[in-house]
Amino acid sequence: MITEEKALSSLADLCSKGERCTGDLDEKMRKWGLEDNVRQRVLDYLTSHHFVDDERFCRAYVNDKVRYNKWGRRKIEQALWVRHIPEDISRPILDDVPDEDYLVNLRPILHAKWPTIKAKSDYERSMKLIKFAMGRGFDLRLIHQCINKMDATEEMEDEG
């Protein structure tokens, strides 16, 4: 079994290499078999000495998932929930992300997927595209916005 001092040292080292959240650290200590009071003391120390900060982690995580992984808001919310980030921390950070940041990711994803979908009607194709985009965590409102623009573009190309 790992000691409290060893856990503190290992986790401080881990936090110095990249952003972490208290939920991930607590889970790691749970797997090491540390008791609740020991885990809480270690987390209190790491938090008070700014090794770990859930708000700082959340900002970095949201930025990375939107910018690099091209995730939608719902998928990010779910991932933060799994990491035990409180909603009072995550919601304002997610609310700060403008719709346009999601749309910049969603448009090319849908445009690339559109021709690969096998469907008997435009309605069926749209439903499959919606299901695909929702799986990526995008809001239905933004998905409809993109699909409606795609439909309008397709109609203009057909007429031209």
Mean pLDDT for the stretch of residues 129-134: 96
Q: Can you say how many angstroms the Cα of residue 151 is from the centroid of all Cα atoms in its chain?
A: 29
For residues 95 and 150, what is the distance between their CA atoms, to the nearest angstrom?
26
Instruction: Specify the pLDDT at position 160.
Output: 47
Instruction: Specify the pLDDT at position 138.
Output: 97
pLDDT at 120 exceeding the cut of 90: yes
Instruction: Specify the pLDDT at position 150.
Output: 77
Q: Can you say how many angstroms the Cα of residue 44 is from the centroid of all Cα atoms in its chain?
A: 26
* pTM for the structure as a whole: 0.87
For residues 91 and 75, what is the distance between their CA atoms, to the nearest angstrom?
13
- Considering Cα of 147, then 152, then 158, then 160, what sign does the dihedral take? negative
* pLDDT band (50, 70, 90) for residue 149: confident
Provide CB contacts within 8 A for 10, sequence distance 6+: 2
